[in-house]
């Protein structure tokens, strides 16, 4: 399994298996190796291309079209995922484009299983005759850390300037009118919005500690599978105000804050929570309970175990 999405991989490698993680000297996209900013268990083992070619592999987890199209076979000494080795295509992303053109790269592949991380993705992607299943996210619990002592808003967006409307970056001035925003993520220093303070690429444990001191978490992203930062904020015990697209209505119960496509309502809810610490804490407790129930790590790993047993001989 390539190290593609750090937070997801961090959860997946907590299981009871040995995970072979490709590594290259430059630790580039095709060989990042073990995480440098998360604590992975010793069962996540770095392998070079030479080591991988001879490795005893039970199943390959693919996550990008280039892995399916030849990268995996080159690393595996010519063994083809799905044909020579059992394979799973883990699809993290919501599709982009016109609804009639949303064909998945693994569409019609009867020799592998496509795993979607949300039911919304399963609904939108056209996988043809390829077997599909949904394994909802699981989060390594950061613990109940919410204090809400600072009447400020936390937002997490990676590359907000480049991704712009997709991540709701254009909505930040409207939310900043309700209260000052602390913006976390990669590339946040590129955002220059009054009332928004960037915190560039903090280590996860420090980001969680900082976020938990803020009174409310705002999730302005228009188009995503389901932001892991939203689920992490809920695990921390934060009340959440969420743009109601893709999977948001499934993930966030009404008692956890507000999910809506009405930005004026979202901004007003943010303002109200910033002004009412007791109400904010009550919503945050409900958010944490909901996140632990639906997106806890034990359920996630159990779902993966079942699938791995199904696809391997």
Q: What is the pLDDT, as a whole number, of residue 5?
A: 92
Which residues, 6 or more positions from 214, have their beta carbon under 8 angstroms from its beta carbon?
148, 150, 152, 153, 154, 182, 238
CATH number of the domain bearing residue 169? 3.40.50.2000
Q: What is the pLDDT, as a whole number, of residue 200?
A: 96
Structural domain includes residue 305: yes
Structural domain includes residue 95: yes
pLDDT band (50, 70, 90) for residue 38? confident
Flag whether pLDDT at 61 surpasses 80.
Answer: yes
Whether residue 40 is found in the same domain as residue 126: yes
Flag whether pLDDT at 37 surpasses 80.
Answer: no
Whether residue 111 is found in the same domain as residue 195: no
Whether 105 and 92 have beta carbons less than 8 Å apart is answered as: no
Which residues on adjacent β-strands are paired with residue 185? 200
Whether residue 24 is found in the same domain as residue 71: yes
Structural domain includes residue 143: no
Q: What is the pLDDT, as a whole number, of residue 171?
A: 98
Angle at 287 between CA 284 and CA 293, to 5 degrees: 145
Whether residue 116 is found in the same domain as residue 241: no
Whether residue 57 is found in the same domain as residue 134: yes
For the chain, the maximum distance between any two Cα atoms, rounded to a whole number of angstroms, is 61
As a whole number, mean pLDDT of residues 86-115 equals 96
Structural domain includes residue 64: yes
As a whole number, mean pLDDT of residues 299-305 equals 98
Q: What is the pLDDT, as a whole number, of residue 36?
A: 85
Whether residue 30 is found in the same domain as residue 126: yes
Residue-wise pLDDT for 113-151, tens only, equals 999 999 999 999 999 999 999 999 999 999 999 999 999
Count of other CB atoms within 10 angstroms of residue 203: 11
Whether residue 158 is found in the same domain as residue 289: yes
Structural domain includes residue 69: yes
Whether residue 229 is found in the same domain as residue 285: yes
Residue 191, Cα to own-chain centre: how many angstroms?
22
As a whole number, mean pLDDT of residues 33-37 equals 89
Structural domain includes residue 145: no
Structural domain includes residue 289: yes
Structural domain includes residue 144: no
pLDDT band (50, 70, 90) for residue 280? very high
Q: Is the pTM of this model over 0.75?
A: yes
Residue 244, Cα to own-chain centre: how many angstroms?
17
Whether residue 110 is found in the same domain as residue 34: yes
pLDDT band (50, 70, 90) for residue 39? confident
Whether residue 96 is found in the same domain as residue 154: no
Flag whether pLDDT at 154 surpasses 90.
Answer: yes
Q: How many domains does the chain have?
A: 2
Q: How far apart are CA 161 and CA 38, in angstroms?
A: 25
Whether residue 110 is found in the same domain as residue 164: no
Whether residue 185 is found in the same domain as residue 232: yes
Share of the chain above pLDDT 70, in %: 100
Q: What is the pLDDT, as a whole number, of residue 148?
A: 98
Flag whether pLDDT at 204 surpasses 90.
Answer: no
Residue-wise pLDDT for 90-101, tens only, equals 999 999 999 999
Question: Which residues form the domain of 188?
Answer: 150-295
**Concatenated DSSP letters for 21-84?**
EEB-TT--TT-B-S-SSS---TTEEEE-HHHHHT---S-EEE-SHHIIIIIHHHHTTTPPBTTT
């Amino acid at each position: 399994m390539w190290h593609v999405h750090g937070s997801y991989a961090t959860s997946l490698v907590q299981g009871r298996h040995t995970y072979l993680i490709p590594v290259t000297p430059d630790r580039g996209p095709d060989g990042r190796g073990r995480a440098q900013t998360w604590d992975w268990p010793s069962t996540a083992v770095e392998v070079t291309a030479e080591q991988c070619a001879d490795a005893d592999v039970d199943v390959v987890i693919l996550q990008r079209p280039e892995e399916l199209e030849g990268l995996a076979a080159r690393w595996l000494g010519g063994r083809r995922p799905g044909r020579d080795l059992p394979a799973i295509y883990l699809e993290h992303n919501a599709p982009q484009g016109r609804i009639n053109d949303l064909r998945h790269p693994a569409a019609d592949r009867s020799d592998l299983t496509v795993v979607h991380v949300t039911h919304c993705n399963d609904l939108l992607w056209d996988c043809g005759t390829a077997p599909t299943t949904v394994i909802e996210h699981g989060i390594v619990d950061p613990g109940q850390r919410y204090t809400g002592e600072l009447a400020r808003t936390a937002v997490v967006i990676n590359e907000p300037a480049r991704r712009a409307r997709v991540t709701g970056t254009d909505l930040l001035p409207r939310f900043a009118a309700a209260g000052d925003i602390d913006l976390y993520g990669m590339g946040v220093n590129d955002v220059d919005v009054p009332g928004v303070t960037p915190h560039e690429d903090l280590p996860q444990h420090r980001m969680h500690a900082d976020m938990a001191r803020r009174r409310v978490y705002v999730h302005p992203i228009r188009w995503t599978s389901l932001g892991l930062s939203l689920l992490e904020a809920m695990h921390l015990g934060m009340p959440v105000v969420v743009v109601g697209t893709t999977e948001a209505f499934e993930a966030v119960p009404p008692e956890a804050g507000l999910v809506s496509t009405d930005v004026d309502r979202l901004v007003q809810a943010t303002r109200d929570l910033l002004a009412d610490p007791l109400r904010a804490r009550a919503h945050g407790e409900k958010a944490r309970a909901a996140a632990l129930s639906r997106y806890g790590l034990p359920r996630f790993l159990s779902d993966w175990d079942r699938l791995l047993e199904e696809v391997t001989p």
